[in-house]
């Protein structure tokens, strides 16, 4: 009997309709969504709490003490075991340079690059709910000695098989063990020993490639004109024509101790280098850790890491090198509903010197190429993974892939029954009694879609409320599944806003999916995390008001902006509570 057996996975809220006019942010009757942490809000470092300037004129140094932009994956770490007082760790995935500077990109300067780098990375904020109230009223605690910003300039240690590797050595770091910063941090995870795992996703687009990218660079999608950020114009290390190995120092999962603001983050290279989306973990039968990781890119892969050693009691101090030793696997889904985790181990199978892998360091640096050789299954943009805490079943969102079935590209297969895949789906694994198993069974949990769509390929098999492009995913402590969307485009015509939905994933006859939250215009809904008592759900609303334009050029007004009309739109964390203080979703 689990502690939630009295309420189980039951849902009772009134699902939201997406027809007709809607307020900017909508939650069911009886619930409140309180904005607690917006881009530019001070993180709370004692004595250093610069206020947000609505015209975006905060300096880089101020930005480095404030919430970054584009909040994404998140985790809650209780303080003294509390469900009403803890640390929120969250990613700031990327920046909208049009909003970040008073005049957008109309000029491009070293100060703007510095501010952009300071708006990336991670926040650690202390949060608490006001006492004496039935429904927790959350706020950021300021000042806090635990408040911290980690940016694209923060020193980090490299650990695991690629530490010190010749492919990681640079002029600034001849030893190949110290990297400055993290960026592209998308989804995330929390380890059983209380650390935060932040995942470097679209790192490749921050580099200026050479005129003719080499085969390795091409495998990661580098191409002329593919640099989104122009950091290299003022930060030379991002120019691969001069510093080719800087590229290998990103694309990792980074472990952060949220309880020690002075602790150096560690890039855990044993978990492989990828366009890492997230890192959901749980214990194996013998007490080791298994971590499931999607790589969000078309026709890329899903990975699992299993540690060599068991997790020991005693928090991080007892598990400092746990993520440096273990086996990395890549998934192969077979048409008969079974599959294999294929080990990415140097010297095994084709992962040999003759095939270009000098050692295990090179295998993890070139995870994609190693996975190609093993014949892993090419997936439709695997985003978040989540593990059911009650039965150990594992889920992954495959957000969409409009290129599946195009000439020269993979077509439909058992794990991807639609080509093109406009709406995405969620896939489920069963590993028997042990997450360490190399064999698994799998099935298609739900094909996302909209039964009203004129396009047959976009209709899916959803019972309940329509949705498309699943991305963020959480199975909460009582076993309720929360699905976030990040969609738009063909197939999503009747779904003008992104949303958060809930279901019982174990229901006989398939899940009945209910819409719980509708986000502001232009935003994606992401980062869901439940407080341990299931009475607060934290969610991030990323890039509200996003358009294809430069938002802040002279003359642009922000009339309908969220969260405050008249002020440029700001990504923000909301704390959702039930007005009677009850369990979320029940």
Q: Residues in the site for ligand FEO, rule: CB under 6 A?
A: 93, 186, 201, 277, 296, 383
- CB of 293: closest distance to ligand FEO in angstroms? 12
- CB of 214: closest distance to ligand FEO in angstroms? 26
Task: Count Cβ atoms within 10 A of the Cβ of residue 475 and give its class: 0-12 exposed, 13-18 middle, 19 or more buried.
Answer: buried
Query: CA–CA separation, 576 vs 555, rounded Å?
Result: 35
Query: Which residue, 385 or 453, has its beta carbon nearer to Ca ion?
Result: 385
Query: Which residue, 394 or 437, has its beta carbon nearer to Ca ion?
Result: 394
Query: CA–CA separation, 329 vs 324, rounded Å?
Result: 15
Closest CA to 379 of 444, 296, 280, 449: 296
- CB of 183: closest distance to ligand FEO in angstroms? 12
Query: Which residue, 160 or 487, has its beta carbon nearer to Ca ion?
Result: 487
User: Site for Ca ion (CB under 5 A): which residue of 471, 476, 504, 546?
Assistant: 471
- Report yes or no: 47 and 65 within 8 Å, Cβ to Cβ: no
Query: CA–CA separation, 215 vs 210, rounded Å?
Result: 12
The region of 368-376, 377-385, 444-452, 510-518 touching Ca ion under the rule CB under 5 A is 377-385
- CB of 296: closest distance to ligand FEO in angstroms? 3
- CB of 468: closest distance to Ca ion in angstroms? 11
Site size with Ca ion, rule: CB under 5 A = 4
Contacting residues for 564 by C-beta, under 8 A, at least 6 apart:
570
Query: Which residue, 41 or 277, has its beta carbon nearer to ligand FEO?
Result: 277
Residue 246 binding partner per list ligand FEO, Ca ion, none, with a CB distance cut-off of 5 to 8 Å that depends on partner kind: none
Residue 362 binding partner per list ligand FEO, Ca ion, none, with a CB distance cut-off of 5 to 8 Å that depends on partner kind: none
Residue 450 binding partner per list Ca ion, ligand FEO, none, with a CB distance cut-off of 5 to 8 Å that depends on partner kind: none
- CB of 521: closest distance to Ca ion in angstroms? 16
Task: Give the rounded distance of the alpha carbon of 66 from its chain centre.
Answer: 20
Residue 257 binding partner per list ligand FEO, Ca ion, none, with a CB distance cut-off of 5 to 8 Å that depends on partner kind: none
Query: Which residue, 104 or 487, has its beta carbon nearer to Ca ion?
Result: 487
Query: Which residue, 94 or 341, has its beta carbon nearer to ligand FEO?
Result: 94
Give the residue nearest to Ca ion (CB): 486
Positions of E strands within 476-535: 481-485, 499-503, 512-518, 524-530
Residue 393 binding partner per list ligand FEO, Ca ion, none, with a CB distance cut-off of 5 to 8 Å that depends on partner kind: none
Contacting residues for 507 by C-beta, under 8 A, at least 6 apart:
none
Task: Count Cβ atoms within 10 A of the Cβ of residue 320 and give its class: 0-12 exposed, 13-18 middle, 19 or more buried.
Answer: middle
Query: Which residue, 173 or 383, has its beta carbon nearer to ligand FEO?
Result: 383
Contacting residues for 385 by C-beta, under 8 A, at least 6 apart:
278, 279, 280, 292, 293, 294, 302, 394, 395, 396, 473
- Report yes or no: 140 and 89 within 8 Å, Cβ to Cβ: no
- Report yes or no: 539 and 505 within 8 Å, Cβ to Cβ: no
What is the phi/psi pair of residue 249, to 5°?
A: -95, 5
Query: CA–CA separation, 216 vs 247, rounded Å?
Result: 11
**β-pair type (31-38, 572-578):** antiparallel
Query: Which residue, 13 or 301, has its beta carbon nearer to ligand FEO?
Result: 301
3-state helix, strand, coil in the chain (%, to 5): 10, 35, 55
Query: Which residue, 296 or 465, has its beta carbon nearer to ligand FEO?
Result: 296
User: Site for Ca ion (CB under 5 A): which residue of 362, 450, 486, 504?
Assistant: 486
- CB of 91: closest distance to ligand FEO in angstroms? 9
Residue 173 binding partner per list ligand FEO, Ca ion, none, with a CB distance cut-off of 5 to 8 Å that depends on partner kind: none
- CB of 69: closest distance to Ca ion in angstroms? 11
Q: Which two tokens stand for residue 8?
A: 């189980």
Query: Which residue, 195 or 198, has its beta carbon nearer to ligand FEO?
Result: 198
Residue 208 binding partner per list ligand FEO, Ca ion, none, with a CB distance cut-off of 5 to 8 Å that depends on partner kind: none
Residue 201 binding partner per list Ca ion, ligand FEO, none, with a CB distance cut-off of 5 to 8 Å that depends on partner kind: ligand FEO
Residue 200 binding partner per list Ca ion, ligand FEO, none, with a CB distance cut-off of 5 to 8 Å that depends on partner kind: none
Query: CA–CA separation, 252 vs 200, rounded Å?
Result: 6
The region of 137-145, 180-188, 266-274, 446-454 touching Ca ion under the rule CB under 5 A is 180-188
- CB of 526: closest distance to Ca ion in angstroms? 6
Query: Which residue, 179 or 525, has its beta carbon nearer to ligand FEO?
Result: 525
* 454 strand-pairing partners: none
Q: Which residues of 276-313 are buried (b: 16+ CB within 10 A; e: fewer)?
A: bbbbbbbbbeeebbbbbbbbbbbbbbbbbbbbeeebee
Which 541-570 residues touch Ca ion, going by CB under 5 A?
Answer: none
Task: Give the rounded distance of the alpha carbon of 203 from its chain centre.
Answer: 13
DSSP state of 401: B
- CB of 394: closest distance to Ca ion in angstroms? 17
Which 42-61 residues touch Ca ion, going by CB under 5 A?
Answer: none
- CB of 456: closest distance to ligand FEO in angstroms? 27
- DSSP states along 210-238: -SS--HHHHHTT--TT--SS-GGGT-GGG
Query: CA–CA separation, 151 vs 64, rounded Å?
Result: 7
- CB of 369: closest distance to ligand FEO in angstroms? 21
- Report yes or no: 84 and 136 within 8 Å, Cβ to Cβ: yes
Structural Rg of the chain based on CA atoms: 22
Site string for Ca ion, 186-215 (x = CB under 5 A): x-----------------------------
Query: Which residue, 381 or 478, has its beta carbon nearer to ligand FEO?
Result: 381
Mapped onto helix, strand or coil, the DSSP state of residue 550 is coil
Which 382-401 residues touch Ca ion, going by CB under 5 A?
Answer: 383
Residue 300 binding partner per list ligand FEO, Ca ion, none, with a CB distance cut-off of 5 to 8 Å that depends on partner kind: none
Query: Which residue, 62 or 383, has its beta carbon nearer to Ca ion?
Result: 383
Residue 295 binding partner per list Ca ion, ligand FEO, none, with a CB distance cut-off of 5 to 8 Å that depends on partner kind: none
Binding site for Ca ion (CB under 5 A): 186, 383, 471, 486
């Amino acid at each position: 009997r689990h502690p939630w057996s009295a309420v189980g996975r039951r849902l009772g809220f009134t699902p939201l309709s997406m027809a007709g006019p809607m307020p900017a942010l909508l939650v069911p009757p009886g619930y409140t969504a309180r904005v607690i942490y917006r881009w530019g809000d001070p993180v709370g470092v004692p004595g250093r709490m610069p206020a947000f300037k609505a015209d975006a004129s905060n300096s880089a140094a101020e930005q480095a003490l404030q919430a970054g932009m584009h909040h994404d994956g998140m985790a809650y770490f209780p303080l003294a075991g509390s469900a009403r007082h803890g640390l929120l760790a969250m990613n700031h995935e990327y920046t909208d340079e049009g909003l970040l500077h008073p005049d957008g990109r109309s000029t491009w300067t070293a100060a703007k690059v510095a501010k952009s780098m300071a708006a990336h990375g991670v926040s650690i904020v202390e949060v608490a709910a006001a006492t004496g109230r039935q429904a927790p009223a959350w706020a950021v605690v300021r000042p806090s000695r635990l408040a911290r910003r980690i940016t694209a300039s923060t020193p980090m240690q490299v650990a695991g098989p690629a530490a010190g590797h010749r492919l990681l050595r640079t002029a600034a770091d001849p030893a190949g063990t110290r990297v400055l910063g993290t960026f592209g941090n998308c989804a995330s995870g929390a380890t059983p020993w209380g650390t935060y795992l932040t995942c470097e996703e679209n790192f490749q687009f921050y580099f200026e490639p050479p005129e003719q990218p080499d085969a390795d660079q091409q495998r990661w999608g580098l191409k002329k004109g593919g640099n989104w950020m122009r950091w290299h114009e003022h930060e030379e290390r991002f120019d691969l024509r001069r510093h080719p190995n800087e590229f290998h120092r990103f694309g990792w999962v980074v472990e952060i101790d949220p309880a020690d603001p002075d602790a150096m983050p560690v890039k855990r290279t044993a978990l492989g280098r990828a366009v890492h989306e997230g890192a959901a973990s749980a214990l194996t039968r013998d007490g080791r850790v298994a971590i499931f990781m999607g790589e969000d890119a078309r026709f890329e892969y899903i990975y699992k890491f299993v540690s060599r050693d068991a997790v020991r009691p005693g928090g991080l101090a007892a598990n400092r090198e746990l993520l440096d030793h273990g086996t990395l696997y890549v998934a192969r889904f077979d048409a008969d509903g079974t599959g294999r985790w294929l080990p990415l181990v140097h010297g095994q199978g084709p992962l040999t010197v003759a095939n270009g892998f000098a050692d295990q360091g090179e295998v993890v640096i070139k995870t994609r190429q190693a996975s190609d050789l093993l014949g892993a299954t090419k997936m439709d943009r695997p985003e978040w993974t989540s593990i059911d805490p009650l039965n150990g079943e594992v889920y992954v969102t495959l957000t969409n892939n409009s290129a599946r079935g195009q000439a020269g590209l993979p077509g439909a297969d058992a794990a991807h029954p639609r080509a093109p895949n406009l709406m995405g789906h969620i896939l489920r694994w069963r590993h028997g009694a042990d997450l360490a198993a190399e064999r698994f069974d799998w099935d298609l949990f739900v094909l996302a879609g909209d039964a009203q769509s004129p396009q047959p390929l976009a209709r899916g098999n959803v019972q309940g409320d329509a949705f498309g492009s699943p991305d963020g995913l959480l199975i909460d402590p009582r076993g309720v599944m929360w699905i976030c969307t990040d969609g738009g485009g063909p197939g999503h015509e009747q779904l003008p806003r992104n949303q958060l939905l809930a279901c019982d994933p174990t229901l006989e006859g398939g899940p009945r999916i209910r819409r719980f939250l509708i986000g502001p215009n232009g935003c994606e809904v992401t980062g869901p995390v439940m407080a341990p008592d299931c009475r607060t759900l934290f969610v991030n609303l990323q890039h509200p008001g996003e358009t294809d334009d430069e938002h802040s050029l002279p003359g642009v007004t922000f009339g309908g902006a969220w969260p405050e009309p008249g002020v440029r739109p700001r990504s923000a964390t909301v704390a959702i509570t039930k007005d009677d203080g009850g369990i979320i979703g029940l």
